[in-house]
Amino acid sequence: MRKLLLCAAIAVFGLSSVNAQGEQTSKGKILIEANTGNAMLGSTGINFVSSDGSSAYNVGLDGGYFIMDDLALKLGLGFGGDNPDVGDSESSFSYRLGAKYYVNSMIPVTVDLTGASGDAVKIGNETPMWLGLGAGYAWFIGDNVSIEPGLRYNLSLNDQYTDEGVFQFNVGFALYF
């Protein structure tokens, strides 16, 4: 009996999630999301790193507008800083501009340009700029909320800063209005 009730509960939850999908990503909706991030990339996400008495943080959000069903144009902003054990504190400002498309209203695919400025990210006279490509899965846990784990590849557009791409695993939390 318990197994039958568990199976019924899972089926109801699954069907309610499927029925809700698509409505969140329809034309005219607004998307607000926070992601885990990587400070090295000039992040619009949220992260905190501490090592040997020094710490660094970043706080940011992305927002988007669905210009058509399943396609949102996005803008993200972030601010970060550090607390070095010796010397002055440095800060950075990050930005992201891009698009996010939901394949079948549940598989987000992103392409965006991410950059940063400020003393915390500057190497010589160079600041980072990245072309980001990502994909994940949108798990809709409510009518207006999803959790989106995903993989992302960031290609450096500034060879003087770094000539290597960076893979990143992140988890996003999105609200739809």
Measured CA to CA, the distance from residue 45 to residue 150 in angstroms comes to 13
Q: What is the largest CA-CA distance in the chain?
A: 68
Higher-confidence residue of 126 and 87: namely 126
Question: In the prediction, which pLDDT does 68 show?
Answer: 96
Lowest model confidence (mean pLDDT) among 3-12, 20-29, 80-89, 152-161: 3-12
Q: In this predicted model, what pLDDT tens digit does every residue of 20-63 receive, in sequence order? A: 456 899 999 999 999 887 655 557 888 888 877 778 788 899 99
Whole-model pTM: value is 0.78
CATH code for the domain of 103:
2.40.160.20
Q: Which domain holds residue 169?
A: 2-176
| Residue 174: closest CA among 129, 141, 130, 132 | 141
| Residue 83: closest CA among 37, 38, 50 | 50
Total of domains in the chain: 1
Q: In this predicted model, what pLDDT tens digit does every residue of 80-117 receive, in sequence order? A: 887 655 556 678 888 999 999 999 999 999 999 988 88
What values do phi and psi take at 14, rounded to 5? -60, -45
